[in-house]
Amino acid sequence: MEYEILAPAGSMESLIAGVRSGANAVYLGGKLFNARRNAGNFNDTDLKTAVEYCHRRGVKVYLTLNILLSDEEFETAYNMVKNALSLGVDAFIIQDIGLAKMIRTHFPQARLHGSTQMSIMSPSGVKFAEKLGFSRVVLAREMSLEEIKEIRKCTNLELELFVHGALCMSVSGQCYLSSMLGSRSGNRGLCAQPCRLPFTAGNKENEFALSLKDLSLIEHLNELEGITSLKIEGRMKRPEYVSASVTAVKKAINGTYTSTDEFTLRSVFSRSGFTDGYFTSKLGSDMFGTRQKEDVVAANDVLKNISHNYDNENPLLPIDIRFVCKKNTSCTLTATALGKTVTVTGEVPETAINKPMTPDILRQRLSKFGATQFFANNIEINLDDGLILPVSKINELRRTAVEKIEELPKISVMAKPFEIQNYSPKKCVPYLTASFKNAGQIPERHPFRHIFIPLDSDTDSFIDNNAGAVLPRGLFGIENEIRSRLEHLKKAGVKKALCGNLGSYHIAKELGFEVFGDFGLNIYNSESARQIDNPILSFELTLEQANKINANNTGIIVYGRIPLMLTRNCPVKTSIGCLKCGKKGILTDRKGYKFPVICSNYPCVEILNSVPVYMLDRMNEVKTDFAHFCFSTESQSDVKNIIRMYEKGEKPDFKYTRGLYQRGTL
């Protein structure tokens, strides 16, 4: 099977390294709105140069617009997309479903690729993306081979898979550690990677409990049937890394990847080696690693040699030539490459006095493509006997044909004019909703219009409390189980569902539940809020931004420990085991702050903030339709106390945070 090798390009140097090493496509970011804002990235002039360079070599260019956008940024994003389309960008990698809707509405010719930050990990997630107009999705990096196969069977969308590069502890798009601890949001492109700092689980010292080795599936490429694009992570990495990883993937596809190549790849960059743990379903301590001194030393030994791989243009593109030279007729050269065929006309040949041209001599001269990206593939000669043309004229024909092949078409952009939506302030007093980790936390009397408990709670608890179901955000391999449980609850009379993943949202809607969108959907603007029923808005918004979201029935979390990570590999289980943990797992950072780790019967665990968000003394500032309480580690008496504090508007007598409602993200 033919794969697309997709290389990272954080700079023009890295782009050239990837293309000359054999990448079929590159992904890069503009100066705004991309998940690697600290990479070199490309301004408008650079982007034009990059697209022209790539397209003349048959390489596609995907522009990353893979962050959450605020309402104020949509017009700028519109202009960026319009300019990128005019330059020939082949597709846009998108996280924000509101941005996807805006692009689809205004630019029908644009191709959309769903970013891994969309947290798509199940067949229903892919179906929802297809409904939104995506032509490709980038699958979550935590998926096993069997889970990937399950998705492949259910969709005709193109699937893109990370096969090499850094691996986050959290499911992409579901990490809020950097934003909550330092206002540098991964969902806004400025992750500070605090997960690479020391965190301990249990009593171990100097433990890096949130630092995974880099992912590498290069030795598994023959198992990836049905995957369209093999993606390499690394827009923050140097050009040598890009070249080495592209070369390794290309060799693996061709069956020539060796232990020497693996050593080179590891030497360029690794964290104590590589892992394929998620893909092979072998989770555990072997997946964890940090950047060691020996890793840095190894890189110094190979970087110089790798740089020579892309010093000069590599002839990677075949070109077919047909040369016709007849008596008394202008000669012609027809060239075919990059899906184009051009014909150029030369002079009328003369009758040779001494040595006439021969087909072999012509083939030799027409094969000289010098320091270009082309190599002669098939050369067909149609030559009458006894003729001659000056060598300079033959070379001129060949050069002219290449220039015409490299000419880029003019692009016409179909664009609907952008219109700014007017904001209509809300004047309502928000009603209250709440989610609980177990039904035992729910007091007999409470002020909540809607309450939600975990999907796997016993059926009587749903009925007794008139509760809706909280669906898990980690849907790896459990979609059929989720659907079956929801069907059972529906028959029992349960009517509502709280969904924090596009896949679970799709299932619940399909089964006819009244759906509330949870925080995991990352609803950050009015356009995305209009596509989700009853959305709990992103807690990465400021309160002012949240209040101005122009959509029906929106809410914010006003109390609760914010889940900072959703991870498939439990750091506590890996460190001390489930028996010692007793479902009371705690992570401790280098400053002594403690973060509860909450497990469930489903594939992922949640790492909660060390202190709760608390806005109950400032409810007069909350202008959304409803306010949500997120109870996790609290006892029933704690819940009663929180309700009392809400009713009296009291300031808390415990450690708390206002979260990002005041300070926002950078």
Give the least confident one: 175-184, 206-215, 291-300. 291-300
DSSP labels, 219-244 = GGGGG-TT--EEEE--TTS-HHHHHH
Give the pLDDT of residue 203. 67
Tell me the C-alpha distance between 386 and 127, whole Å: 66
387-411 confidence digits (pLDDT tens): 999 999 999 999 999 999 999 999 9
Is residue 299's pLDDT more than 80? no
Q: What tokens appear for 2 in the block?
A: 């033919």
Would you place residue 309 in the very low, low, confident or very high pLDDT band (cuts 50, 70, 90)? confident
CB 649 within 8 Å of CB 642: no
Give the pLDDT of residue 305. 81
Contacts of 444 (CB under 8 A, 6+ apart): none
Would you place residue 577 in the very low, low, confident or very high pLDDT band (cuts 50, 70, 90)? confident
Beta-sheet pairing, 91-94 with 60-65: parallel
Across the range 614-642, mean pLDDT stands at 97
Give the pLDDT of residue 583. 87
Across the range 550-575, mean pLDDT stands at 96
Higher pLDDT, 628 or 31: 628
250-261 confidence digits (pLDDT tens): 999 999 999 989
Give the pLDDT of residue 166. 94
Position 268: which residue type?
V
Tell me the C-alpha distance between 616 and 627, whole Å: 10
Q: How far does the chain reach from its first CA to its final CA, in angstroms?
A: 43
Give the pLDDT of residue 303. 79
Tell me the C-alpha distance between 377 and 386, whole Å: 26
16-55 confidence digits (pLDDT tens): 999 999 999 999 999 888 878 777 789 999 999 999 999 9
223-258 confidence digits (pLDDT tens): 999 999 999 999 999 999 999 999 999 999 999 999
Would you place residue 205 in the very low, low, confident or very high pLDDT band (cuts 50, 70, 90)? low
418-469 confidence digits (pLDDT tens): 988 777 777 789 999 999 999 999 999 999 999 999 999 999 999 999 999 9
Tell me the C-alpha distance between 661 and 242, whole Å: 39
Give the pLDDT of residue 451. 98
Q: Which residues of 203-223 are buried (b: 16+ CB within 10 A; e: fewer)?
A: eeeebbbbbbbbbbbbeebee
Is residue 161's pLDDT more than 90? yes
Tell me the C-alpha distance between 73 and 75, whole Å: 6
Give the pLDDT of residue 206. 61
Question: Angle at Cα 383 formed by Cα 382 and Cα 385, nearest 5°?
Answer: 150
**CA-derived radius of gyration, the chain:** 29
Please state the pTM of the whole predicted model: 0.95
429: helix, coil or strand? coil
Across the range 111-117, mean pLDDT stands at 98
> What's phi and psi for 630, nearest 5 deg?
-115, 95
Is residue 509's pLDDT more than 70? yes
Tell me the C-alpha distance between 318 and 256, whole Å: 21
When the pLDDT of each residue in the chain is averaged and rounded to a whole number, the result is: 94
Tell me the C-alpha distance between 42 and 59, whole Å: 17
Tell me the C-alpha distance between 251 and 258, whole Å: 8
Would you place residue 576 in the very low, low, confident or very high pLDDT band (cuts 50, 70, 90)? confident
Q: What tokens appear for 31 in the block?
A: 């100066």
Across the range 368-375, mean pLDDT stands at 92
CB 524 within 8 Å of CB 70: yes
Position 242: which residue type?
V
Give the pLDDT of residue 632. 97
Give the pLDDT of residue 207. 87
